[in-house]
Structure 1
């Protein structure tokens, strides 16, 4: 019969092994930060494509002494409201993404339409979705101010979101000979998941 201290050590050992395994799985999920960033850029681009035309924001709520409305009329395309509507919920939407195995050495991020139709382990797929959502939160935390300004300036356009977000701001991808490739982890400091 084993003593209680031996059982406690065995349980602690089991918990540590499981924690390391979970961390290793998470680390693998965002091993290719360039691909994860591109998936996030794709979702942001989808938001840009689905934008409906909006009227200017009328901030003229007060009347002056002559009865004329005073205040600002703000173009929606350069407004903070537009930025908030584009970025709010972006990382929550990333929970609809998971890694799909393309071949023995390559995986790609895909948007899942139905979790019931997945061919892979649902638990593993959900873990990947949480990983990319967390990665998205960190990416936005690092780049939100600059990204917001670029959106308001009109510099973030459909077809260019990946370049702006993943190359210029996030620096997770580099552009070499017209092909995006991941930047070495040595080139990125303090960006580990």
Structure 2
């Protein structure tokens, strides 16, 4: 009986965390959150591709030696880093137990970890969606991916300018604070990741 009551109370708390101010419980990412995730993912991707010390051979002339260019400073590296960048957002989940921009993070949310734990213990949990869809990207995540693609298209030239000329400045400042979000709310840029998110990011990089 005690276990049933605890499970019931836990489900009520989870239901509250899954609720939102909107009628359908969906709160889409704002422009600040989208730009923040885009910047974090691109800088992370550049860290991945920047580990090599390879050189590219450029030029097609038979009579002249081919020019060599460091891959880390090449246009090819930028193109490869941007390719599929917004697809990486589909690795994120919505963490509705959080209220700031860290609600968008990789890894299973605490809420769904709890729900899966209840199911594994034999507790019947009804969320209004099939169990096999619990871990699929939510509508908030797929919407953020679309917003990322739009933002990337709009500010592609600014990203190129930053990549070739101003990487000493963080992309969060250069792209988000100084351009995409100029004269807009930039408060989400100051939201610190949780310890788990920080540790996971270091492992991924």
Short-chain TM bin = 0.5 to 0.7
1:4 matched to which residue of 2? none
The answer to whether the 8 Å contact 2:162/2:171 transfers is no
Question: How many residues matched?
Answer: 146
The C-alpha deviation readout for 1:88-109, integer Å capped at 9, x for no partner, is 1110111111321235x54621
Kept after mapping to 2: 8 A contact 1:60/1:71? yes
Equivalence for 2:196: none
Identify the residue that residue 133 of structure 1 maps to in structure 2: 145
Provide structure 2 residue ranges, at least 5 long, that are not aligned to the other structure: 1-22, 116-126, 128-133, 192-205
What is the TM-score when the length of structure 1 is the normalising length?
Answer: 0.61
Q: What TM-score, normalized to structure 2?
A: 0.58
Tell me: CA distance 1:63–1:123, structure 2 relative to 1, closer, same or farther (3 Å).
closer
Is 2:52 the counterpart of 1:53? yes
**SS at structure 1 position matched to 2:68:** strand
User: C-alpha distance in 2, partners of 1:147/1:92?
Assistant: 18
The residue number in structure 2 matching 1:152 is 164
Is contact 2:90-2:137 (8 Å) kept? no
Confirm or deny: 8 A CA contact 2:94 2:138 kept in the other structure: no
In 2, the alpha carbon distance for the partners of 1:125 and 1:101 equals 14
CA distance in 2, matches of 1:174, 1:49: 28
Unaligned runs of 5+ residues in structure 1 are 1-20, 182-193
Structure 1 residues 152, 92: closer, same or farther in 2, change over 3 A?
same
Q: Which residue of 2 aligns with 1:95?
A: 90
- Alpha-carbon spacing, 1:102–1:113, altered in 2? closer, same or farther (3 Å): closer
Distance in 2 of aligned mates of 1:169 and 1:91: 19
Which structure: greater strand fraction?
1
What is the aligned-residue RMSD (CA, Å)? 3.3
2:42 is paired with a residue whose SS is: helix
Q: 1:34, 1:97 → 2: CA distance? A: 16
Q: Give the secondary structure class of the aligned counterpart of 1:62.
A: coil
Following TM superposition, the consecutive aligned residue runs of length 4 or more in structure 1 with deviations greater than 6 angstroms are none
